[in-house]
């Protein structure tokens, strides 16, 4: 998705404006589909457990939850697996809700970064798992490639990035002007991943979601092996 600078600025502004109107609840995070949260987390947990059977497996020290919202995935999925979880979220209200609601997790919650993914830079070599879910449609193609490259650099030895996203079932990119996002075909996303120095090591479709939703896939990613 090629945008000029002025349009790109509006694209991010409009998304920020949209999310500022959404209630900081699980139902708000999931666009009124709060009922799928349990199925979603269980599917992700199963996928993550598979990744720990791979050799070499990621560590259990640090995870990063990207587009974290109010911390739904941090609490339900990442906290049980990792010693510490950082969150990055562009909406200030969601960040505040996350900080408050996750207090009972104690030192397992690290830093909550109030920043958009288009500019966020993970600390180099820091994270065992970088989890990115239902947020990448808000980034332009070029920003996505740069984000992937920064994430590849932010992974610890044997670390992986996991993407869980909606994908179109054909070769179309579908725009949603309501929340200023796009849904890409899986093949288009894989092409962007390669440009961003990442390769797919495991892929799985999420099952048991309502039929009216887009297909959702989980992709486990590692940096490309440099020649």
pLDDT digits (tens, 9 = 90+) for 15-62: 999 999 999 999 999 988 889 999 999 999 999 999 999 999 999 999
Q: What is the 3-state secondary structure (H, E, C) of 64-130?
A: EEECCCCCHHHHHHHCCCCCEEEEEECCHHHHHHHHHHCHHHHHHEEEEEECCCCCCCCCCCCEEEE
Strands 127-133 and 62-66: parallel
Long-range contacts of 221-227 (CB under 8 A, 24+ apart): 221/148, 221/160, 221/161, 221/162, 221/163, 221/193, 222/155, 222/159, 222/160, 222/161, 222/198, 223/152, 223/155, 223/197, 223/198, 223/199, 224/152, 224/194, 224/197, 224/198, 224/199, 225/199
Whether residue 71 contacts residue 65, with contact meaning beta carbons closer than 8 Å, is answered with yes
Q: What are phi and psi of 13, to 5 degrees?
A: -60, -45
Quote the CA–CA distance of 31 and 23 in Å, as a whole number.
10
pLDDT confidence of residue 105: 98
pLDDT confidence of residue 227: 37
**What's the pLDDT band for 5 if we cut at 50, 70, 90?**
very low
What percent of the chain stands above pLDDT 70?
A: 96
User: Residue 206, annotated ligand binder?
Assistant: no
CATH topology of domain 59-223: Rossmann fold (3.40.50)
**DSSP structural state of residue 185:** B
pTM, to two decimals: 0.95
**What's the pLDDT band for 194 if we cut at 50, 70, 90?**
very high
pLDDT confidence of residue 1: 53
Q: Per-residue pLDDT tens for 113-171?
A: 999 999 999 999 999 999 999 999 999 999 999 999 999 999 999 999 999 999 999 99
**What's the pLDDT band for 9 if we cut at 50, 70, 90?**
confident
User: Residue 159, annotated ligand binder?
Assistant: no
Quote the CA–CA distance of 161 and 110 in Å, as a whole number.
18
Share the mean pLDDT of the chain: 95
User: Residue 72, annotated ligand binder?
Assistant: yes
Q: Please say if the pLDDT value at position 225 is more than 90.
A: no
Strands 216-223 and 198-205: antiparallel
| Residue 65 C-beta-side C-alpha neighbours within 13 Å | 28
- What value does the mean pLDDT take over residues 67-71? 98
- What value does the mean pLDDT take over residues 98-122? 98
pLDDT confidence of residue 32: 87
What percent of the chain stands above pLDDT 90?
A: 93
Quote the CA–CA distance of 81 and 158 in Å, as a whole number.
16
């Amino acid at each position: 998705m090629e945008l000029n600078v002025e349009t790109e600025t509006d694209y991010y502004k409009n998304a920020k404006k949209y999310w500022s109107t959404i209630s900081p609840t699980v139902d708000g995070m999931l666009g009124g589909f709060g009922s799928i949260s349990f199925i979603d987390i269980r599917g992700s947990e199963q996928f993550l457990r598979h990744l720990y059977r791979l050799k070499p497996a990621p560590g259990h020290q640090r995870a990063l939850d990207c587009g974290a919202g109010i911390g739904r995935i941090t609490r339900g999925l990442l906290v049980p697996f990792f010693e510490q979880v950082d969150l990055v979220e562009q909406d200030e209200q969601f960040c505040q809700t996350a900080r408050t609601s996750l207090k009972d997790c104690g030192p397992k919650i690290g830093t909550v970064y109030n920043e958009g993914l288009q500019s966020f830079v993970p600390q180099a070599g820091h994270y065992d798992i970088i989890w990115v879910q239902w947020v990448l449609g808000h980034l332009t193609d070029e920003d996505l490639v740069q984000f992937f490259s920064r994430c590849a650099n932010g992974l610890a030895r044997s670390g992986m990035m996991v993407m869980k996203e909606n994908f179109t079932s054909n070769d179309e990119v579908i725009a949603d002007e309501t929340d200023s996002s796009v849904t890409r075909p899986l093949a288009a996303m894989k092409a962007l991943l390669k440009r961003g120095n990442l390769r797919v090591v495991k892929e799985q479709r999420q099952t048991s979601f309502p039929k009216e939703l887009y297909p959702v896939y989980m992709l486990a990613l590692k940096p490309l092996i440099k020649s």
